[in-house]
Structure 1
Amino acid sequence: MGSHRRLAPSGFARGAGAAAGFVSLAAAVLGAVPAAAAPHDDTRAEVDRLYEEAEKATEAYNKAEERTDALRRQVGTAQDAVARQQERINTMRDALGSLAGAQYRAGGLDPSLALLLSADPEDYLDKASVLDRISTHQAGELRELQQAMRDLARDRAEAARKLGELEKARKAVAAHKKTVEKKLAKARRLLNTLPDDRREAYGRASRSDRSELPGTPAASAASAASARAAAAFAAARSALGRPYIWGANGPGGFDCSGLTQWSYAQAGVALPRTSQEQRYAGRQIPLSEARPGDLVAYRDDASHIGMYAGNGQVIHAPYPGAPVRYDPVGMMPVSSVTRV
């Protein structure tokens, strides 16, 4: 019986084995590249998420700030009403005080007038019997004063209510501000963990603040749907390169809705402050019909907004660290296009 010994590998076999080993090693090394890159990709995805959440909080901050401004004006109006009513009451008291003085010099002070000039005549004024002691003219003046005092009490209550709402609104503004700052700080810390080349390349390659680069819109706004849209588009173009500053509406810096609000203000059009409100500031049209100056809102909640610039691009304020610039209109899901 022959023996079944394992033959020694030939030179070819040894080479093939070495090659196979090299291929396996290369595959292992190449396979490790995505795994090594994955943490960076995860970091960029997390930064994107934080910027998106910060932008939503920024729009909530803008809405709360707008509400605070409105309440501040309402409080001022209510306080003015209180002051006017108090002045009217003081004038009426002075007039009735003169009447009381005349009655006293004539031989006595009418009890109803004496009570009126005391600290709290309201209870006595509510009693009909008082009207038996005074003339018809005096009764009319007393009724008028009584109504004025009730109006004053109402105005004071309204002013107090508005002040309470204002305080709540201020707290909401502070809370949203804190949320934005926390998310932006976390995003900055994450960005700083990326290698320099990846951090510098964080902005999409298609983005630019230079209008002369290929693919950017022509300088003319003649294709805008209206003269005001053309003027707003020209204003937005003039803001290219200015910094993103959350909560800002120009002229030195902008957040997304601040840029569109400021741009239309230069055209004499008052837009609401937030992107959610701006999406309803005109007639909604299909994206296929968009022309320069139209507003393009993004995401289902319209938490980001830009201005259509033609050639499939928008001008917008992207996020902190990125200037006002052109970007592809499809950079994120479009929720609506509004023609102001």
Structure 2
Amino acid sequence: MGGALAAGVLATTALYGGSPAGADPVALPNTASEAVQRMIDLSHQSEQLNQQALDAQSDLDAKLVIQRDADAKLAATTDAVNRARDEVRKYQPVIDRTAIAAYQGARTNRLFAVLVSDSPQQLLDQMSTLDVLAAQTSAQLDQYKTATDSADAAEAVARRADDEARAAADKADSVRADLERKRSDLGGAIAQVVQAWGALSTKDKSALAGSPFPPGFDRDTLLQGLVPGSGTSALAAGLTRVGDPYVWGATGPNQFDCSGLVQWAFKQVGKDVPRTSSAQATYGTPVAKEDLQPGDVVFFYSDISHVGIYAGNGLMLHASTFGVPVAVAPMSSTPYHSARRY
């Protein structure tokens, strides 16, 4: 199993951009227990970086959605501006003719009609014609003003959309850069873990991996006692993965990191659970530690960098760390943070 684990982690290291050659050297421990503890500490640091990188990826994905929406809005508002300006151009010849006529002193009022009329009928005809022309010109001027106002409003919306699109792109670029830094840090941390694990003796590796179940734990009895439900059914699904290797960034079906195992288990029962431990800690409803039931999701460390599924009697199912397959273990082995019920 050790060779398969190392191969899986080295593949993940390549994915995240790190390499053993670029990692800081790991000082040799003085005793076997120190070596195992160093391995555990390095693995926890790597898991923290793993969850941070996953959070950054989720943040980037969300920012890219906002950017795409902003770009689509900008395109739509630009089209609206073009249509509005086309509408303005339809009335421009009329406006130009009216302006030119006024500049050249065209006689278009009722007093001029009285002065040039030879008869009452001609006066009435001229006044009627002037009324029609005035009404037409006024209507066209009103339409021109409406079209101009619409174009100005469309341009204002387009300017805001352009600002929003630029801001969204800047935020996405910032998160992308942060993600790349975290991936680089993770690559280096993973390389250190692989190096520390490789320095362990076969006996120490076996001790680190431990047993898939604590003494006295009966998986079959537990499964028979579970009442069907999203949480307990997810626990039952997760228990089928006991013995699968831990790999950073893995979500199954045959290798997992901690949050990947939780997401996979609940996916089997139709629950679309977030990817990272910190996001999973906001999903569902809070549960007090004294009210935990099998199938509840439990979180650990102050930064919520580890997660598992409660299996009853103070035990949890989790993907612990590199070199330790998916297993059922006491919750007391990890600093408790909180719990949620999905």
SS at structure 1 position matched to 2:339: strand
Q: Which of the numbers 147, 151, 154 marks the counterpart of 1:145?
A: 151
> Which of 271, 274, 286 in structure 2 is aligned with 1:272?
274
Deviations 1:233-291 (A, max 9, x none): 23322333333222233334322112212322333333333223323423433444322
In 2, Cα distance between equivalents of 1:184 and 1:227: 37
| 8 A contact 1:264–1:270 mirrored in 2 | yes
Q: CA RMSD in A?
A: 3.0
Task: Describe the shift of the 1:141–1:50 C-alpha distance in structure 2 as closer, same or farther (beyond 3 A).
Answer: same
Task: Look up the match of 1:247.
Answer: 249
Q: Deviations over 1:119-175 (max 9, x none)?
A: xxxxxxxxxxxxx9x711111111111111111111111111111111111111111
Whole-Å separation in 2 of the counterparts to 1:172 and 1:293:
34
Q: Which has the higher contact order (CA 8 A, sep 6+)?
A: 2
Aligned to 1:184: 190
Flag as ranges the 4+ runs of structure 1 deviating above 6 A.
Answer: none
Amino acid at match of 2:306: H
Does the 8 Å contact 1:256/1:304 carry over to 2? yes
TM-superposed deviation, 1:197: 2.4
Match of 1:303 in 2: 305
The yes-or-no answer on 1:261 pairing with 2:263 is yes
Query: 1:51 maps to which residue?
Result: 43
Unaligned 5+ runs, structure 1: 1-35, 112-131
Q: How many residues align?
A: 278
**Aligned twin of 2:236:** 234
**Aligned 8 A contact 2:300 2:336 in 1:** yes
Identity of aligned residues (%): 24
Q: Which residue of 2 aligns with 1:136?
A: 142
The unaligned stretches of length 5 or more in structure 2 are 1-27, 101-137
Say yes or no: does 1:90 pair with 2:82: yes
The corresponding residue for 1:327 is 329
Distance 2:180 2:290 in 1: 40
Bigger proportion of residues as helix: 2
Deviations 1:9-47 (A, max 9, x none): xxxxxxxxxxxxxxxxxxxxxxxxxxx994322222111
Q: For 1:80, which of 72, 77, 87 is the aligned residue?
A: 72
Equivalent residue runs for 1:97-246 within 5 Å: 97-100=89-92, 103=94, 108=97, 135-203=141-209, 205=210, 207-208=211-212, 214-218=216-220, 221=223, 227-246=229-248
| Aligned position for 2:133 | none
Cα distance in 1, alignment partners of residues 279 and 155 from structure 2: 41
Provide the residue aligned with 1:282 in structure 2: 284
What is the rounded CA distance, in whole Å, between the counterparts of 2:249 and 2:204 in structure 1?
28
Contact 2:39–2:197 (Cα < 8 Å) also in 1: yes
TM-score (norm 2): 0.72
Q: 2:75 is aligned with what amino acid?
A: A
Other structure's SS at 1:327 match = strand
TM-score (norm 1): 0.72
Change (3 A) 1:253 1:72: farther
Match of 1:293, SS?
coil
Task: Rate the CA distance shift 1:279–1:164 in 2: closer, same or farther, 3 A.
Answer: same
